[in-house]
């Protein structure tokens, strides 16, 4: 039976936190108007705790898909804009389903019967923006569509490929992320932790991109999973609202900066140092002992059963994925050459059929050979040669293991820890700061 500890984060708790906190303002990420790109180029500012936040909530740009044909549905009226010059091109009534393509030097929007609704000449790199009218939303996809808040940008790549990017306020984005990254029925304190970690990660990506490129992150596990309206849930919305604008920061006093607040599903007993996996040396992302996920994670995930993968399959998948390994011809031997302080595999040596050797980091190795049918759940294992197969034994955990352990976070919340205590455990030395105006529901 699940033990419930419905702990509400009160304004007073946040206020106490803020006494010691500094303000990490994401200067210039203005969601009003379309000069976001220009404003994003400004340098982030860190101000003293008693200063008012600089600037409003920020917008985020999320890549949803890349395809030659894009299905768009907007039940209410909508407008189409050319982003360069912020020029309105069309004012259209609601449509059940339309298809956007690029052919013969023009954007083409057609209805189900193939009737042209809109066309406009364009060149490489051209960007259209579709803005739903008031109280309307837009659905986008290739086969099936999913509904999103905010605006949708369609960016022409090459001759006909279209990248579809959702542009929306970061808090609305988080409503579609937190429930996709964590079970929405979990403890409210755990959902609050996830909201803060996801917000921090997203803001860090915005900082990193500084408006460069067409998107800040992807909607998949490569960044963090975002499902738009489908991922929304009342409990998740509550957690996002309660932690509004709160992010994690670290660094010398007065010069704190937000950092990529990584998280993973099940650490297996000890989180990993970000230096090992992501080559990032940050105090809050050093490994931490986690006695919690063992109690909440499914047994066959905390310690997973032996996995056997055929040597031929492992060789083929590695060579397919990484062109730099092609000169190995076929991989005939694999050896663990480096392990992290906490026991995860860090580097492996691959031997080719003609004796050539290459080293590969454990995570790229794992991601190349894992599959839904035969998942290699983590890089915490012992590798054994089993004639025609590689045996992955004594496996522990699920995911890269860096930062907050989500099942550990849930277990801490079940045992009564509040959001601040949990975050302090998984991100030691980090402080909570306010990134933009408004914080907490209380």
Residues 6+ apart with CB under 8 A from 170: 57, 58, 59, 60, 199, 202, 203, 206
Q: Compare residues 46 and 423 and give the one whose CB is closer to Zn ion.
A: 423
Q: Compare residues 74 and 293 and give the one whose CB is closer to Zn ion.
A: 293
Q: Which tokens is 260 given?
A: 């990529």
Q: Compare residues 39 and 296 and give the one whose CB is closer to Zn ion.
A: 296
Kindly state the smallest distance separating residue 196's Cβ from Zn ion, in Å.
18
Q: Report the candidate in 153, 148, 248 with the shortest Cα–Cα distance to residue 195.
A: 248
Kindly state the smallest distance separating residue 263's Cβ from Zn ion, in Å.
11
Measured distance CA(218)–CA(223) in Å, rounded = 5
> What does DSSP assign to residue 43?
P
Kindly state the smallest distance separating residue 344's Cβ from Zn ion, in Å.
13
* CA 173 vs CA 70, 158, 178: distances in Å: 21, 28, 9
- SS3 for 362? helix
* CA 272 vs CA 192, 399, 400: distances in Å: 22, 11, 8
Q: Compare residues 174 and 267 and give the one whose CB is closer to Zn ion.
A: 267
Q: Compare residues 207 and 396 and give the one whose CB is closer to Zn ion.
A: 396
Kindly state the smallest distance separating residue 419's Cβ from Zn ion, in Å.
17
Question: How many angstroms from the chain centroid is the CA of residue 39?
Answer: 23
Measured distance CA(211)–CA(234) in Å, rounded = 32
Question: Any idea how long the chain is?
Answer: 442
Encode 289-311: b = buried (16+ Cβ within 10 Å), e = exposed.
Answer: ebebbbebbeeebbebeebebeb
Kindly state the smallest distance separating residue 396's Cβ from Zn ion, in Å.
10
Residues engaged in binding Zn ion (CB under 5 A) = 267, 290, 293, 405, 408
Kindly state the smallest distance separating residue 203's Cβ from Zn ion, in Å.
25
Q: Compare residues 173 and 426 and give the one whose CB is closer to Zn ion.
A: 426
Q: By the 8 A CB rule, do 146 and 228 touch?
A: yes
Kindly state the smallest distance separating residue 222's Cβ from Zn ion, in Å.
22
Q: Compare residues 53 and 408 and give the one whose CB is closer to Zn ion.
A: 408
- Alpha helices by DSSP H, 49-187: 170-175, 178-181
Q: Which tokens is 342 given?
A: 């906490």
């Amino acid at each position: 039976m699940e033990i419930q500890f419905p702990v509400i984060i009160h304004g007073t708790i946040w206020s106490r936190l803020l006494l010691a906190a500094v303000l990490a303002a994401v200067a210039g990420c203005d969601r009003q108007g379309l000069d976001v790109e220009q404003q994003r180029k400004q340098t982030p500012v860190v101000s003293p705790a008693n200063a008012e936040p600089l600037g409003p909530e920020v917008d985020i740009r999320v890549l949803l898909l890349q395809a030659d044909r894009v299905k768009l549905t907007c039940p209410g009226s909508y407008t189409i804009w050319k982003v360069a010059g912020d020029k309105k091109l069309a004012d259209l009534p609601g449509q059940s389903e339309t298809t956007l393509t690029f052919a013969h030097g023009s954007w083409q929007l057609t209805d189900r019967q193939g009737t042209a609704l809109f066309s406009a000449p364009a060149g490489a790199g051209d960007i259209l923006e579709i803005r739903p009218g008031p109280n309307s939303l837009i659905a986008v996809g290739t086969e099936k569509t999913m509904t999103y808040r905010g605006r949708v940008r369609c960016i022409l790549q090459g001759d006909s490929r279209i990248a579809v990017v959702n542009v929306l306020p970061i808090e609305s984005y988080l409503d579609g992320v937190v429930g996709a990254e964590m079970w929405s029925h979990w403890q409210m304190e755990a959902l609050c932790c996830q909201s803060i970690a996801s917000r921090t990660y997203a803001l860090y990506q915005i900082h990193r991109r500084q408006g460069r490129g067409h998107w800040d992150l992807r909607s998949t596990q490569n960044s963090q999973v975002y499902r738009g309206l489908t991922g929304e849930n009342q409990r998740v919305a509550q957690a996002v609202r309660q932690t509004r604008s709160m992010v994690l920061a670290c660094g010398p006093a007065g010069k704190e900066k937000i950092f990529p607040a990584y998280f993973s599903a099940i650490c297996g007993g000890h989180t990993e140092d970000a230096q090992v996996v992501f080559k990032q040396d940050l105090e809050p992302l050093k490994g931490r002992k986690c006695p919690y996920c063992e109690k909440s994670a499914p047994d066959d995930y905390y310690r997973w059963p032996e996995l056997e993968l055929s040597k031929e399959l492992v060789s083929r998948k590695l060579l397919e994925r990484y062109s730099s390994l092609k000169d190995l011809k076929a991989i005939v031997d694999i050896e663990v050459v480096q392990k992290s302080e906490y026991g995860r595999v860090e580097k492996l040596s691959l031997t080719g059929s003609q004796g050539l050797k290459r080293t590969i980091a454990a995570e790229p190795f794992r991601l190349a050979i894992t599959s839904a049918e035969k998942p290699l759940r983590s890089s915490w294992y012992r590798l054994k040669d089993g004639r025609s197969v590689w045996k992955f034994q004594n496996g522990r955990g699920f995911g890269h293991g860096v930062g907050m352990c989500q099942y550990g976070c849930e277990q801490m919340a079940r045992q009564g820890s509040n959001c601040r205590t949990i975050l302090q455990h998984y991100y030691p030395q980090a402080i909570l700061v306010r990134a933009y105006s408004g914080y907490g529901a209380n």
